[in-house]
């Protein structure tokens, strides 16, 4: 009994080891938690940012769509058919319709043209008041007249007159279908040489070049007298 040495467990030492181990585990856990905490906001922030970024794009797109149904935004802008201020509104009936429509002069289009008949003409007048003046009731008038048009409704005197007007009416009606209850933000471009190809190529009246003529124009009465600087002859009365 006395010759046998019994090893007494070093409880104090093991306890210290356990405490160190536990402390180490806690430290690791805290470090992981801290990393996870740092990563999580970053990840959340990234996801949120990414998600928000996507949302912002969607919002912008939606905003564009909304704004096209609203007062501002790129989708809201629509260009009218380019106008040629030197195009004559005479001599043949139909050129006056073409001229006043391209000039977006709705009152003259309704009141001052020689031939006020035909569904295409009616749709041109109605869409002018709807898109330019913002008269919402005229969109339905436009659609009804435009859908009822036949070959007998030709405005003439050249096919390009009807094609130009019909394309613009169709474009405006398509815009309205996507933006009900709204008015488009219109821009009104002019041709570079002040003439449209349709009028230049098909209208028998060819005004004198501007640099060699003296021109008096009254927009209110839509009359214009062009006198040649060299011959003194009157080339037209609008």
Summarised one tens digit per residue, pLDDT across range 120-173 is: 999 999 999 999 999 999 999 999 999 999 988 999 899 999 999 999 999 999
Question: For residue 231, what are the domain limits?
Answer: 207-238
Same-domain check for residues 90 and 139 = yes
Number of domains in the chain: 3
- Confidence tier at 105 by pLDDT (50, 70, 90): very high
Same-domain check for residues 113 and 147 = yes
Whether 150 is covered by a domain: the verdict is yes
Q: 59: how many CB neighbours lie within 10 A of its CB? A: 12
Same-domain check for residues 38 and 79 = no
- Confidence tier at 237 by pLDDT (50, 70, 90): very low
What would the mean pLDDT of 178-187 be, rounded to a whole number? Answer: 94
Mean pLDDT of the residues in the chain: 71
Whether 4 is covered by a domain: the verdict is no
* pTM of model > 0.85: no
Same-domain check for residues 182 and 84 = yes
Nearest Cα residue to 183 out of 235, 137, 229: 137
What would the mean pLDDT of 184-198 be, rounded to a whole number? Answer: 96
Same-domain check for residues 169 and 85 = yes
- Confidence tier at 204 by pLDDT (50, 70, 90): confident
Whether 238 is covered by a domain: the verdict is yes
* Coil/strand/helix, residue 191: coil
| Alpha-carbon 74 to chain mean position | 5
pLDDT over 60 (residue 112): yes
pLDDT over 70 (residue 55): no
Q: Residue 180 half-sphere exposure, CB side, CA atoms within 13 Å?
A: 3
Q: Helix axis angle, 95-102 relative to 159-178, nearest 10°?
A: 40
Sheet containing strand 213-218, strands side by side: 213-218, 223-228, 234-237
Same-domain check for residues 129 and 18 = no
Strands of 19-124 (E only): list them: 77-79
């Amino acid at each position: 009994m006395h010759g046998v040495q019994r090893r007494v467990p070093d409880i104090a030492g093991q306890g210290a080891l356990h405490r160190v181990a536990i402390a180490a585990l806690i430290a690791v856990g805290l470090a992981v938690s801290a990393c996870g905490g740092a990563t999580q906001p970053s990840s959340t922030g990234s996801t949120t940012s990414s998600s928000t970024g996507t949302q912002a794009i969607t919002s912008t797109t939606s905003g564009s769509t909304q704004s096209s149904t609203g007062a501002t935004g790129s989708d809201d802008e629509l260009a009218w058919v380019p106008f040629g201020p030197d195009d004559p509104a005479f001599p043949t009936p139909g050129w006056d319709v073409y001229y006043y429509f391209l000039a977006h002069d709705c009152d003259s289009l309704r009141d001052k043209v020689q031939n006020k008949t035909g569904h295409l003409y009616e749709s041109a007048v109605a869409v002018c008041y709807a898109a330019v003046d913002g008269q919402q009731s005229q969109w339905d008038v436009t659609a009804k007249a435009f859908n009822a048009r036949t070959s007998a409704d030709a405005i003439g005197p050249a096919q390009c007159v009807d094609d130009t007007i019909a394309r613009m009416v169709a474009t405006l009606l398509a815009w309205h279908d996507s933006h009900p209850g709204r008015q488009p933000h219109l821009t009104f471009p002019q041709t570079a040489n002040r003439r449209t190809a349709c009028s230049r190529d098909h209208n028998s009246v060819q005004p004198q070049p501007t640099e060699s003529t003296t021109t008096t124009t009254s927009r209110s009465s839509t009359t214009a007298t062009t006198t040649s600087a060299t011959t003194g002859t009157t080339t037209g009365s609008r």
